[in-house]
Structure 1
Amino acid sequence: MQQTEGLPARRNINRGTLFFFGALGGILFGYDLGVISGVLLFIKKIWNLSGLQQGFVNGALAAGAIIGALTVIKLADGLGRRRTIIVAATVFALGTIGCTFAPNFETLVAFRFIVGIAVGASSATVPTYLAELAPGKVRGMLASLNQLMIVGGILIAYIVDDILADSGNWRAMIAAAFIPAIILLVGMLRMPETPRWLLKNGREDEARAVLSSTLQGQGVDEEFAEIKEVIRLDGQQQKGTLRDLTAKWARPALIVALILAIGQQFCGVNAVNTYAPIMFSNLGYGASAALLASVVLGIVKVLFTVGEMFVVDRWGRKPLLRVGAVLMAVTLIVLGLCVNFIKDTSVVGPITLVLLILFLAGYELGWGAVVWVMIGEVFPLKVRGIGTGTASVVLWAATFTITFVFPVMYTGLGLAGAAWIFAAVCVILVVLVSKFVPETKGRTLEQIELDLRERVNV
């Protein structure tokens, strides 16, 4: 049996290890997203940054991520999911070194952009990698590992920020990101490519070996046959194109992915992730207390993401999306009222912390992991790489919009006005999910695609 890029013949890879390293790319995203909130507390004073310049520091990551996600739209299908993640980890490590030693605002923004390219490439590839490896019955839980790694990365960043707050060593805060990048790089060198990519590229023996490992020998022949049937239906064209995304058989999947990608960011979560310490500082918290409050928010994100992992394959994706959006809308409306009418910062500060905890609980239950799970599973095989890449581009464009605009929005409208705008978005999301988003729990990727084709008569 030929063993080049599939499951290494010299040893059997533990399934847990395989999924862990597959999801580890989420830490790159999470850590860099979270660490900058603490860094900004110090560099805005050292470099005398305006609100617009703070927006550039935050937005540079998302702007680079747009380019990274665009780059892998075809790269993930041509180079493979595994090697694309390896490239992303390498670029991330190099960009982190540049950020650590940045002598000024402009250099930091430039290297944050480079790091963003790696984060975008990783975020566009990891959901597909996990979805194509995971068995259908537990795919929601295992694919949620990506979001767990993201929120875990955010929490680690908040803790590092808090530990280094007294020293003000913002460079060390950034440098710590080098560690998960190297772990991911080394780990992925020993991981297999996905069976669907291998089979699509004519490497049947390797595909069967990886399937046997991930399915632990159960139902291998059936899933192998389903994958081959989908590839046969895709026709002679080996790789999908952007035009295919708008074809009748793929358009419903594209609509769902766009709703999820835009909704995940326009609900306002990254305004909280990246500016929470500044918001708490403005509500009367000291720098150390503001960072400690952020650590509490990070712990909440991890706990509710873990909870989501255990219910996503029982309750389903769609109910969690609706419940999460409703909870976010309610807490944001109440937050706006409290900030607007309670003037005592010693009272409104703790209330804001509690409401943001409830907001993040709703987000992680519904719009955190579930979005990444569904983006990885909703697209047909022929356009899965291009589809997830396109969704990631849109998601990062939305992230850039929020992280860049929020400082200006916060200054002009205040916390209450911003909260009410995000609440309105959450209400709209409830309607869109109810109308357009299908349920995908407990089904193989091939069953989802065959059902999609059947519904549009293709």
Structure 2
Amino acid sequence: MAAATSQAASAGPRVSAQARNAKRFIVGIAAIAALGGALFGYDTGVISGALPFMEDHFGLTSLGEGIITSALLIGAAFGSLIGGRMSDALGRRNSLLWAGAVFIGGALAVALSPTLPFMTVARFVLGLAVGSASVITPLYLSEIAPPHIRGRLVSFNSLMIVSGQLLAYLVNAVLAHWAAWRWMLGLAALPAVALFVGLFFLPDTPRWYISKGRQDDAAGVLRRTLPVEDVPAELARIDQARNLEADARRGAWEQLRTPWVRRLLLVGIGLAAVQQITGVNAVVYFAPKILASTGLGTGAAITATIAIGAISVLATTIGMSLIDRVGRRPLLINGLAGMTVSLALLGAAFHLPHSGAVSVLVLCLMVLYMAFMQATLNTGVWLLLAEMFPLKVRGLAMGAAVFVMWVVNFAVALVFPVLLDAVGASTTFWFFGVMCVLSLLFCKRYAPETKGLALEDLEHELRKTAEAKAG
């Protein structure tokens, strides 16, 4: 008895030390890898502050603004397609290293661009890194995290994206005093260097090591995140899951011929389009231009966008806490209703005479709209896309939906400044309000509810529901 007590006492400190080391290792991984999410947010958000000064420097038209803004997004669409395949071939860590190098070179090329065509090409190349990081970063985090904290660690990446946008708004506000738009764009190279250097100190994921037959390397990583006695079982579980997914991928195209699976794919693509067509990135990319149209000065308009970034971070945190309690469908439907009201009021506000009070009102309504968007639609759509597809088509269907999301994002960014000049802010935001109403009807009719169901049970339920609606 005494020996057992002594053994337990000596094991206690060892377990505690192992747990502390594992926590430090995981925190280090999250801090470095999530820089990919922060760069995603920074590079998409920083253009809002740089555009007003680039307009003067390059003599940009509204179409030119749309082209400069959307060049990154079409690059991101193709980068998202490249990222998944590259991460399978080169590894998750090496693919993030590639993305980090492109982030560095792209940020510097954009900042130093001598001409508009050069800027457009540089933004497209930078978009390749943004799109790749949008796929690889959550994949890396989900595969290297222990199961009991996987959800929180992957959600942390979403939080880092909106945090990167907030950082961009803060940098824009400071540098706007000197019209230093090149510095706004070029400073993205600093976190990109931190990502690139930090990744040299991180391993790849156990799943990728196992896929390449490197069992010892996989076990070495698992011993840094799990109790030693749990490592063999986890190795076996990963190997079994990888084999099941390989079998599933081989039958993916055949499965798409099944009517209920095709229906789910179309619903997923529709949800991806809904997330973008309702106008969120028109606000993210062009908030200073919108505020300037109310009579606010350029510097003040850029500074005011900090409120939009701050509410995005707060609302994303709230959405993450609500999604499992409220459910996916109610969150989408109620969020779209709130977005519709916000956009209706925002459109009406532009009919008021220009004044400081009207500028504040427009900012408050944009903040309200972003709060509804980030807490509900943004959180809900990403989670549904990760949950709703059957295993055999999950990778293929998710890739198709994310590609459509980037393409619609590109279209909105290209057309919005032209639309703003052609029909005015009021009509433009009412148009987005109509899109919200149509999206609400779409979600009410087609969006599935996935709350509280294991993925295996969920596939059965979604099949029954899809077949019933199709019949």
TM range, smaller chain: 0.7 to 0.9
- The question of whether the paired residues in 1 share the 8 Å contact of 2:72 and 2:127 is answered with yes
1:423 aligned residue (419, 427, 433)? 433
- Counterpart position of 2:25: 14
Change (3 A) 1:190 1:241: farther
2:363 aligned residue (353, 376, 379)? 353
- Counterpart position of 1:31: 42
Q: CA deviation at 1:139?
A: 4.6
1:178 aligned residue (180, 186, 189)? 189
CA distance in 2, matches of 1:235, 1:63: 30
Task: Name the stretch that deviates more: 204-213 or 432-441.
Answer: 204-213
- Counterpart position of 1:5: none
Structure 2 stretches lacking a partner, 5+ long? 1-20, 465-471
- The question of whether the paired residues in 2 share the 8 Å contact of 1:264 and 1:368 is answered with yes
Task: Name the stretch that deviates more: 27-36 or 204-213.
Answer: 204-213
- Counterpart position of 2:459: 452
Change (3 A) 1:32 1:77: same
- Counterpart position of 1:42: 53
1:84 aligns with 2:74: no
- The question of whether the paired residues in 1 share the 8 Å contact of 2:388 and 2:459 is answered with no
1:98 aligns with 2:109: yes
- Counterpart position of 2:403: 393
**DSSP 3-state at the match of 1:46:** helix
- The question of whether the paired residues in 1 share the 8 Å contact of 2:295 and 2:354 is answered with no
CA distance in 2, matches of 1:450, 1:229: 19
CA distance in 1, matches of 2:74, 2:360: 34
Query: Over residues 155-197 of structure 1, what are the superposed CA-to-partner deviations in whole Å (9 max), with x where a residue is unaligned?
Result: 1111111111111111111111001111222233333434444
2:321 aligned residue (310, 325, 340)? 310
- Counterpart position of 1:297: 308
- Counterpart position of 1:337: 348
RMSD of the alignment, in Å?
Answer: 3.1
1:409 aligns with 2:419: yes
Q: CA deviation at 1:260?
A: 3.2
Counterpart residue identity of residue 91, structure 1: V
Q: CA deviation at 1:303?
A: 1.6
CA distance in 1, matches of 2:307, 2:68: 24
CA distance in 1, matches of 2:229, 2:331: 29
CA distance in 2, matches of 1:246, 1:453: 16
- Counterpart position of 1:52: 63
Query: Over residues 411-456 of structure 1, what are the superposed CA-to-partner deviations in whole Å (9 max), with x where a residue is unaligned?
Result: 122112111221222223333334444444566xxx4156426864
CA distance in 2, matches of 1:415, 1:135: 48
- The question of whether the paired residues in 1 share the 8 Å contact of 2:48 and 2:288 is answered with yes
Q: Which has the larger radius of gyration?
A: 2
Q: CA deviation at 1:73?
A: 4.2
- The question of whether the paired residues in 2 share the 8 Å contact of 1:379 and 1:449 is answered with no
CA distance in 1, matches of 2:208, 2:394: 10
Counterpart residue identity of residue 147, structure 1: S
- The question of whether the paired residues in 2 share the 8 Å contact of 1:297 and 1:357 is answered with yes
Query: Over residues 127-152 of structure 1, what are the superposed CA-to-partner deviations in whole Å (9 max), with x where a residue is unaligned?
Result: 33334445666554432222211111
- The question of whether the paired residues in 2 share the 8 Å contact of 1:138 and 1:442 is answered with no
- The question of whether the paired residues in 1 share the 8 Å contact of 2:294 and 2:354 is answered with no
Change (3 A) 1:25 1:313: farther
**DSSP 3-state at the match of 2:353:** coil
Counterpart residue identity of residue 187, structure 2: A
- Counterpart position of 2:276: 265
- The question of whether the paired residues in 2 share the 8 Å contact of 1:73 and 1:385 is answered with no
Higher relative contact order structure (alpha carbons within 8 Å, sequence separation ≥ 6): 1
TM-score by length of 2: 0.83
CA distance in 2, matches of 1:212, 1:441: 33
TM-score by length of 1: 0.85
1:155 aligned residue (166, 191, 197)? 166
**DSSP 3-state at the match of 2:202:** coil
**DSSP 3-state at the match of 1:49:** coil
1:328 aligns with 2:339: yes
1:118 aligned residue (129, 150, 154)? 129
CA distance in 2, matches of 1:359, 1:126: 28
Query: Over residues 16-42 of structure 1, what are the superposed CA-to-partner deviations in whole Å (9 max), with x where a residue is unaligned?
Result: 332333332111221111111111111
**DSSP 3-state at the match of 1:272:** helix
- Counterpart position of 1:371: 381
Change (3 A) 1:124 1:236: closer
CA distance in 2, matches of 1:222, 1:263: 41
- Counterpart position of 1:3: none
Q: CA deviation at 1:59?
A: 0.9
Change (3 A) 1:333 1:204: farther
- The question of whether the paired residues in 2 share the 8 Å contact of 1:266 and 1:398 is answered with yes
- Counterpart position of 2:11: none
- The question of whether the paired residues in 2 share the 8 Å contact of 1:196 and 1:227 is answered with yes
Structure 1 stretches lacking a partner, 5+ long? 1-10
1:169 aligned residue (180, 192, 202)? 180
**DSSP 3-state at the match of 1:164:** helix
- The question of whether the paired residues in 1 share the 8 Å contact of 2:26 and 2:145 is answered with no
